[in-house]
Structures are given as structure tokens and as C-alpha cells.
Structure 1
Amino acid sequence: MKILSDLLYKVAIEKVIGNVKTSVNNISFDSRKIEHKDIFFAIKGYDLDGHKYISTAIENGATVIICEDIPSEIKENITYIKVSNTSIALGITASNFYENPSEKIELIGITGTNGKTTTTTLLYNLFTQLGFKCALLSTIENKIANQTLNSNHTTPDPITINKILALAVENNCKYAFMEVSSHGIHQNRLAGLNFKIGAFTNITHDHLDYHKTFANYIAAKKKFFDELPKNAIAITNIDDKNGWVMLQNTKAKKITYSLKSNSDFKGKIIENRLDGMLLQFNGNEFWTSLSGKFNAYNELLAYTIAIELGFSSIEALTAISKLQRVKGRFETYISKQNIYIIVDYAHTPDALKNIIEAINQTRTRNEQLITIFGCGGHRDKSKRPEMGNIATQLSDFTIITSDNPRDEVPDEIIKEIEAGVQAQNTNKYISITDRKQAIKTAIKIAKTKDIILIAGKGHENYQEINGEKFPFDDMTIAQELLKNIN
């Protein structure tokens, strides 16, 4: 049992009806999960308004209601707390409920369109190698030391974040590495958290279905840095034209990294191959098993963070050189027929362009590159034709297929992708709706030393169709199909 007034510490309260010294059991923004003596947060969300469920929450046992609009009917023995923004109040209250775990651990947040998952995972593995217990909050998985938890969102809700961080503190974790999504920033899921470092990878076309304009998308990312405290560190990639924008109003210490520009941490690709790269960071050379310029940026950011946290260059680079590829991010497999399979999560125009260019920069051109990709349903539709153009322009051959159509018609999504294919490239692609059949066709077409890129789903082990998730792992299916060919 906790006292309500303690949980409301630092919450901007506009009005109170009832007793703030009442004891409470738990907190929730889902009326269906409310039990006796719980606090219910009425969140005005993207799709739903929690104020409509206040009566249900009370029926289920809520004794405290935190809301932006106090109901016209006041129930006896119920405490009502009026705030200007319930999502911010939820974040602060959740931090207080779990005794502010982000103040007891070094919390590092990574934001940007591409590279968040890879960089946070690399950091988790890097600092684990350096001998520390760490936590990871990512799209692929949440981890506390060696324990893996389920992950349903890039940036979880504030209650889940603080619960994971509290468990991390309980398990003596020193560092926590967290993906910070634009949705999470905009929806105030970071409220109440204390970040030691905030880092920016890049920003390109994505999530305009939610943010509506690119300016709104940039503003959401920038908000993360605007809210960092002055004792934090803000790190940005200044090769991205919006890199400096992120730091314009931050109170935190400003640090830059780049491959092209003058910066605090400068990287250089000396040799780039499909099986790895020879890199130079701040004048120090090392070999990595990761490939592609985008991974050079990811590892450079990991290096920058390690140095800013007090590690020596030798310590950081020795550990980085031992890092392995992240599942579903430039994940590779060579078949007995010597066909090269690459699975990558690339699901934005820039990410798809980067992965194809990374392959093209390392291959001999005596082999063909066959790209398989689709676009998810109920996501930013404007990127579909752009991705169709990129894939068919940069690949030798492209198979457009289904991704996670959700409740959209797969063939309609494919038509929107095809609309971007330029006339000179129409003979360089085919469309096959069934994703497994698309992979099978690519394998039939491929000859020795050819490269098949399967993009869009990466680490996902399912395909979502009409609200149902069916088992589907790109790499597993490709490997099974390759076993059945001569």
C-alpha cells in the first residue's frame, strides 16, 4: 500500500476533490485492469479518451481518478485529481510508485528513424562484455541482465518502463539502454525519467501516418533533447542535416559524432566487405564483423557513449571488435549452394536505400542482387511508392510482396508500391503477394554467389493479417527452402 500524496510528488495539480492521504494499491490507465483501491488515469489518447471509462474504473474498484476533466457526477469516497495533462502525470506518478528507478541507474536513450534497435543492442552487449549488469528496452526484446522479457512496443508505457527499470535496479544493473520512439516522446511516455545520455542517430521519412508532417516528426524527436537536464549528455550525428537541430535548445552537454564532418568523435571506413569492416575511430583502427556504413555510424555512437561514460578508447574498441550482428539487422546466411541471404528490418525508404547501397558497395557486380520487400498495412502510405522506386532502381531484380498487411488488402498495398517504379525499371520486378512464395521464387532465380535481400520484417517471427499473427520468420523460411533445392 502506498500513500496517494507521496505518489503525486512533482505532479502539477490543478484541483483536488477528496482525500490525498488515502492509501492505494496500484496504478493503471486501463479501466479493465483496475482492482480495489487502485488509481485510474484517464488518458486522452490518439484513438481513445480514457475519461469515457471513469465510471467503469470506479465499478472495478478505483478509489482515485486522475483526469483532465472532472466528471459531472462526483462519487462518494472517490478522490479526483485534476491535472492539465494526464499522460505527464502518469509518467511522474509511475516513477514515484516504483521509487524513481531511473535515478538509481545510468539511463541512456537512443532516438532517430534508423539505428535505434541496433545501437541499443550493441550497447547492451558492449557493456555486458565490459563486465556490467545491464538492462535493455528495445523493439526486439527487453532484458534485465541475462533475463529476457517480452517487448510489444519500441518505447513501452510509463508503468512498464519504470517496472523494468525497478527490476533492473533490484538486480544490480548499472546501465539501462533504451530505444526512444517519436510516438513515445509525443505521448509523454518519458515523463518522470532521468536520462544520463540522450543520443540522436538520424531522421528520415517515417511515421507520417501519426505525425502528419515531417516538421512534427522532427519536433517530436527534438522534444527529447529539449527536456534533458543540464547534468545530462546530448549526443548527435552531425552528418544528418537535422543533427544540430536536436541540440538547439538542450541544456545538456553537447557532443557530436560523424563519418564526414568535423566532430568530437570522428569515424572512417577503411575497408567495407559483406563479412565486416575495417574502421578507424578517432585515429584507432579495428576490425568489426558488422557491415555497411549505417553500422559504422551505429558502432561509432556506441563508442562515443562508452567514452563519455568514462571508459578508455582501448577498453571500448576491444569490446566493440567482439560484437556480433543483431538479429534481423543485416543478418546473413550462406547456403551450401553459395547463395548469400541477408535479412534486414529496413522498412523505411532511407533504411532500404542504405541496406541496398551497403550491399552494392561491397559486392563484385559479377553476381545479382535480388531484393524482396513489402510495406506494412496501416502505416505511412506515402513511403510505399518511394520504396518501390528505390528497390527497383538499386537492385538487379526486385520481388514486391506482402509484409504485415494487418487489415489492409495486400494487393492494394502492392499496387501503391508499384506506382513508384519508373518506366525503365518495370522489367526488373515482379509482384508475388504470398511472402513465402516470393522467397521461394527468389531462391529459384538465384545462381551461385547471388545475394538475396529480404527486407522489412527483420527480427519479427510473425506475419500480421486481419488482426491475427501467423508464425513467419524470413531467415528460417529461407533456410528451409534452400535445403530443398539441389
Structure 2
Amino acid sequence: SHGLHQGRVAGLIFDVAVLTNITQDHLDYHGDMANYFAAKAALFDKDKARSAVINIDDEYGARLINMPTLCDHYLTLSSKKNISADVVFHKVVATADGMKAELQTPWGTEDVYLPLLGEFNVANLAAAVTALAVTGEDFGNLLIKAETLQPVAGRMALYTKPGACKAVIDFAHTPDAIGVAIKSLAPLSKSLSLVFGCGGDRDRTKRAPMASAASLADNVWLTDDNPRTESAEQIFNDVSDSPDASDFTYMHDRAAAITAAIEATPEDGVLLITGKGHENYQDIMGVKHNYSDEAVLLSLGYQRAGGGYAS
């Protein structure tokens, strides 16, 4: 959205533009959701994209398809909520090692297996398959390739340790993303713990909603993300303003919070660690301290689930 608004891709024409969803983020830059949506919607203009794939389950996707400047060729995407969409994914089933679903598309209806966790990954797969099929790739071959996908670092990455709970690292840093991650993991365990944080010098209005989303977990530890030049205590105070945060455990030391959460989560439970991005440091008052959530887990005896496949 920054690049679109600043004209950094003004000289490009995109073969396919994809809208998965739009939720509250980057309002420190855009000011409000209307401006944020307008920035992203510009990607789908007829002079910017040749084709588009649009998730109409999302309220902004539903608005986008009614914009007069929308590119001439587009396909709509939906779960069973909008069965009349061009591409529909449904019959979604979570298993111990991935997801199964049925895809109904203009190229045929097929079952698909995906070795990734979470229903949102099924939605992402449907969007990716559609975008590639629009450009001429073979639909059946795409589904075969889908079975070999591996999770991107920090996107529902699973770590295991004998005799301890499973741990999942996800970069979720918005209320919607945290809620989706929790709901995706809930079917896999009766006990779900969460460690999360909020970035400093960023949109303060999303902190209370993040607390509300985090409260979907059974036990929650609030810790530091990248405080940057903002007081870490102020960030904690903003989160604690939400009545949903009354039962949270507050620990500034992120490694200590993860360790405490692991110790408190039963062996058959799952710990979700969110918020921290790809950076291998924590930015505190202008000083970058070496840090990564994965390194903490590895130091505690965890290993990445074999070959990227959850088990």
C-alpha cells in the first residue's frame, strides 16, 4: 500500500492482481481505513492490472468488484459463503499434518491436499492457483505442486520437542491475523497458549483490538515486540485498556515469556508465538539487540517440524 500510494510501481502493468483481504494495518501512514483501501484498490485499476482475483468474502473485496475503474477481466473467490463465485473452496478439513479441501473452478472441480496449517492457507492456495491458472498454467499440475508446498519462515511454522507442547511461530501482528491464527490452531488441541506483542511507534488504536483477539486463546502472555523508541510500558498500558486483557500475564523479556508459556502449556497443547517479524533483532530505543523467536525455541531443545511438514 505504501508503494502504490508513493507511486513506486507507477511504471508497471501487472498480469494478475490478487486481493485476499484488507484489515486494519498501517494506519500510522494512511490515517484511516478509507485511505488504506483506496491505496490498495489502485492496484486493480484497468490501467494497472490485466486480470484480477478478488476474495468477495472480504467486505473490501465485495466493494472492489463494484468499482467502475476495476480491470475488465477478474475472477471472484469465496468459501461456501458465496457459492456463486467463480472459484469456491469448501469442505475444508484440518488434519494433524495439513489441510484438505475441495476447489470448484472454471477449470474443473478437484480435491486438494495442502501440507500447511490453517484454513487461511486454503484460501491463499485457492487465490494462488487461480492467479496462475489465469496466466495459462495447468490446473491439475498446480494441485499436484500444492502437495509439495512448505511453510514460509514465520508463517505458521511448527516446532516440536519430545515431552513438550507443540510451538508455532507466526508473524501475525494485526487483530484479524491473530484471531485467524488462533482459530486455525484451535482444532488441533484442547489447550492453546499465546505469546504476542505490539510494535512501538505504530498505530496505537489497534492494540486494544489485538487484546480482544488474543483473548480467544486459553492463556496469554503479553511481551515486547519491537518497542523502537516508544516506552514498552506504554504499549503494555494500551493493551491493558482492553477489558479482555485482565487475565494476561505481562512480561517484557520475550525469551522469558516464551519459556514461561512453554512450561505452563500441557504436553498435548499448542503454544502460538506471534507478532515478531522476520528481523533477527529487537529494536529498543534505537539499539538493535540480537534476537529471534526461533533461536529461543532451538535453545530450549525444539526442532523445526521435519521438512516443513507439520506432524
TM-score by length of 1: 0.58
Which string of whole-angstrom CA distances, capped at 9 and with x for unpartnered residues, describes residues 255-285 of structure 1? 1111131211111143113520111112201
- Corresponding position of 2:77: 257
- Corresponding position of 2:200: 377
Residue 241 of structure 1 pairs with residue 67 of structure 2:
no
What is the root-mean-square deviation in Å for CA atoms of aligned residues? 1.6
1:211: Cα distance to partner?
1.0
- Corresponding position of 1:403: 225
CA contact (8 A) 2:92 2:119 kept: no
SS in 2 for 1:382: helix
Equivalents in 1 of 2:91, 2:225: separation in Å?
33
Residue 415 of structure 1 pairs with residue 237 of structure 2:
yes
Alignment of 1:247-286 (within 5 A): 247=65, 248=67, 249-259=69-79, 260-261=81-82, 262-282=84-104, 283-286=109-112
Distance change in 2, residues 1:407/1:304 (3 Å): same
Distance change in 2, residues 1:447/1:354 (3 Å): same
Residue 185 of structure 1 pairs with residue 4 of structure 2:
yes
Aligned partner letter, 1:293: E
Give ranges in structure 1 of 5+ residues lacking alignment.
1-181
SS in 2 for 1:453: strand
Equivalents in 2 of 1:468, 1:351: separation in Å?
28
Match of 1:445 among 255, 264, 277: 264
SS in 2 for 1:250: coil
Which string of whole-angstrom CA distances, capped at 9 and with x for unpartnered residues, describes residues 429-459 of structure 1? 2100111111111122122112111001143
1:246: Cα distance to partner?
2.5
Distance change in 2, residues 1:228/1:330 (3 Å): farther
Equivalents in 2 of 1:329, 1:448: separation in Å?
22
Equivalents in 2 of 1:274, 1:239: separation in Å?
27
SS in 1 for 2:92: strand
CA contact (8 A) 2:207 2:239 kept: yes
- Structure number with greater CO (CA < 8 Å, separation at least 6) is 2
Aligned partner letter, 1:264: D
Alignment of 1:6-405 (within 5 A): 182-226=1-45, 228-229=47-48, 232-247=50-65, 248=67, 249-259=69-79, 260-261=81-82, 262-282=84-104, 283-360=109-186, 362-365=187-190, 368-392=191-215, 394-405=216-227
CA contact (8 A) 1:375 1:403 kept: yes
SS in 1 for 2:300: helix
SS in 1 for 2:130: helix
1:374: Cα distance to partner?
0.6
Percentage of pairs with the same residue: 36
TM-score by length of 2: 0.90
- Corresponding position of 2:251: 432
Aligned partner letter, 1:234: A
- Corresponding position of 2:284: 465
Equivalents in 1 of 2:242, 2:288: separation in Å?
29
Equivalents in 2 of 1:401, 1:269: separation in Å?
37
Equivalents in 1 of 2:274, 2:231: separation in Å?
20
Aligned partner letter, 1:211: H
1:290: Cα distance to partner?
0.8
CA contact (8 A) 1:347 1:457 kept: yes
Which string of whole-angstrom CA distances, capped at 9 and with x for unpartnered residues, describes residues 125-146 of structure 1? xxxxxxxxxxxxxxxxxxxxxx
